[in-house]
Copies of this chain bind each other. A is one copy, B any other.
């Protein structure tokens, strides 16, 4: 039978990044294309001990249905941590545990977006979020990035031009894919603009704990006097991505609606791992574990940056992130898709910058990841990349 798909789903494409995974099986391929944390960031031996303890003392609870809102002790711990580390989560807010950070984005989309509504976001931005918006029938409109976050004049204009905009999606810290962090001044200005247009801000902060240089910048949630910010994040980059445990914090009324949608979506998040995260947070030293991840990524990022600076033709520019997993490389001219293919031919995988565009436009950038390749792979991969860039610019 020919199926008649819903309008929202008919034209949505699978994420190009996950499609690239399939080409990574080419022998000798070095991948800078992943969005994965380093396996060294998983505290596997502590998790193993805790998992065994849950089976020993609480198996019947951990393997049974739980509440949609999430495991109560974990919700409390998340609230406490948001308050302590990010001055976020006020009395007017509540927290729901989600099946990874992705589900937080998807729930907010389903709660707010009618087909034809506009979602405004950074250009470039996270493809997984773009797909959540598109699956809800949203039109996605990008605002170009300056070196300190989106251009606020253009944001003002985009919001004035799109009165059916309900949502402003931002990854203000160590942005995926650009690696850019939005400045504190700019955050206040963006917040003012969003509030004046009655637009909800969805602040996605999966990398917020992974700063390895510079100083922390206040979250949007911490300056949310009007109750317009929903904040999502996860344990994917600090404990385990495969376990799919994230959270969403926002004004109570909004979270109540998100609970109803989550109930219809997956009932609740894997309870065993919610309990595991909760016990990890109370029995282990999460902060010092995160410090070790920061050390690891600082070293890897510095290595990639120094190799890029040493080997690349000088016309090729790139961002120097202060945290997170990614940097963003831009060619002086040409087309990112052509450069992407040249890289793949030289067995180094990157992600074509076009993947991250809210709407099609010329692009000269690609995304590089430094968290997963080994030191040797970073050095060899950058030399392949440099050769590809030299050939591409020369041609």
- B13 near A260 (CB under 8 angstroms)? yes
Residues 241-268 of chain A, each 1 if its beta carbon lies under 8 Å from chain B, else 0: 1111000000101100101110111111
Q: Is the CB of A100 within 8 A of B131?
A: no
Query: Taking the complex as formed, is A198 at the interface, i.e. its CB lies under 8 A from any CB of chain B?
Result: yes
Given the known interface contacts A135-B264, A254-B3, the answer about A269 and B241 at a Cβ–Cβ threshold of 8 Å is no
Contact of A55 among B51, B243, B261 (CB under 8 A): B51
Given contacts A42-B60, A63-B42, contact A265 B265 (CB under 8 A): yes
* Residue of B6, B15, B52 touching A112 (CB-CB under 8 A): B6
Interface residue? A128 (CB, 8 A): yes
Contact check, A114 vs B7: say whether CB atoms are below 8 A apart: yes
A60 touches B47 (CB 8 A): no
Q: Which of A253, A264, A265, A266 has the most CB of B within 10 A?
A: A264
Residue of A47, A198, A244, A253 most packed against chain B (CB within 10 A):
A244
A157 to B307, CA, bound (A): 71
Q: Which residues of B contact A68 (CB under 8 A)?
A: 18
Known: A3-B253, A111-B6, A242-B63. A266 touches B266 (CB 8 A): yes
Which of A65, A228, A241, A259 has the most B CB atoms < 10 Å from its CB? A65
Contacts of A134 in B (CB 8 A): 264
* Residues of chain B contacted by A37 (CB below 8 angstroms): 64
Q: Is the CB of A44 within 8 A of B36?
A: no
Residues from 78 to 120 in A contacting B, C-beta threshold 8 Å: 99-100, 102-103, 106, 110-115, 117
Quick one: which of B36, B42, B102, B228 contacts A1, CB cutoff 8 A? B228
**Interface hits, A15-35 → B, CB 8 Å:** 15, 18, 21, 35
B residues in contact with A226, CB < 8 Å = 1
Alpha-carbon distance between A254 and B6 when the two chains are bound, in angstroms: 11
Known: A9-B257, A59-B48, A102-B267. A3 touches B112 (CB 8 A): yes
Question: How far apart are the CA atoms of A14 and B261 in the complex, in Å?
Answer: 8
With an 8 A cutoff between CB atoms, is A4 at the interface?
yes
How many angstroms from the CA of A12 to the CA of B261 in the assembled complex?
9
Q: Which of A308-350 contact B (CB under 8 A)?
A: none
* Nearest B residue (CB) for A259: B14
> Across the interface, do A260 and B7 meet the contact criterion of CB distance under 8 Å?
no
Query: A39: CB under 8 A from chain B?
Result: yes
Q: List 28 A-B residue pairs with CB atoms under 8 Å apart, sorted by A's residue number.
A: A1-B200, A4-B112, A4-B166, A5-B111, A6-B112, A6-B113, A6-B114, A6-B117, A8-B110, A14-B259, A18-B68, A35-B65, A44-B55, A48-B56, A51-B52, A63-B242, A64-B240, A64-B242, A65-B236, A99-B270, A102-B264, A103-B265, A106-B265, A110-B135, A128-B263, A242-B268, A244-B270, A244-B271
Q: What 7 A-B pairs are tightest by C-beta distance, nearest first?
A: A48-B55, A242-B271, A63-B240, A44-B59, A131-B264, A39-B60, A99-B266
